[in-house]
A and B are shown apart, each in its own frame.
Chain A
């Protein structure tokens, strides 16, 4: 059984602050995706990381994949109100059937103007 932890669950910050969201597992990921979901909508893919140690940037968002591929982080610089939403990590594990995508508990981010 793979244990997946995403933290923090809730985060409320002022506009302009920085923040980091973490996703950790007891097992090795074959890949990991980060999604953002706004209320009443489906999640939207932000990034996929595949290689241990990989760093990807998407404007003010920086995604890092741990060297051991058991953890990942999402760092947002100078958060904006438009960053508000539910951030979800979704790892894939080797051997998973049908490429099922399961999610962490999510981090609900509120950026206050």
Chain B
């Protein structure tokens, strides 16, 4: 089946630094990928839609200058959390739509801790 590989699985960084998270579609091409953030005991909140070869579309309230998204190829989307702060600590998950039955496959997530 379609697999989305996400890494790193977890990362700890200092306040003020930037962290890049990668999401790759391994056996299919993903023109569109989605980035979510999930706080403890909460559901997934859509942050942005990543479009190959064009600018990402951000959800209301998500700072585009803070969460930089790049989708330079059909198999790779990256999310860079710039100037990270402790409140950015969260579980970040990417996904891609697969096939005609509207199924979505998800990466395994990245646990970001900013200290």
Contacts and interface: CB of A to CB of B under 8 A. Distances in A.
Interface string B16-36: 000000000000000010100
A105 interface: yes
A2 interface: no
A110 to B, nearest CB: 12
Interface residues of A, number: 24
A22 to B, nearest CB: 15
Given A40-B111, A43-B106, A98 B49 contact: yes
B102 A42 contact: no
Given A103-B43, A105-B42, A45 B105 contact: yes
Given A41-B109, A100-B46, A100-B49, A33 B102 contact: yes
Contacts of A66: none
Contacts of B103: 33, 45, 48
Given A88-B43, A108-B41, A99 B97 contact: yes
Interface string B47-76: 001010000010000000000000000000
A45 B2 CA distance: 12
B49 A45 contact: no
Interface in B60-115: 91, 93, 95, 97, 101-109, 111
A42 B41 CA distance: 14
Nearest to A106: B43
Contacts of A103: 43-46
B95 A42 contact: yes
Nearest to A32: B102
A31 interface: yes
A42 B6 contact: yes
A100 B34 contact: yes
A99 B46 CA distance: 12
Interface of A: 31, 33, 40-45, 48, 86, 88, 90, 92, 97-106, 108
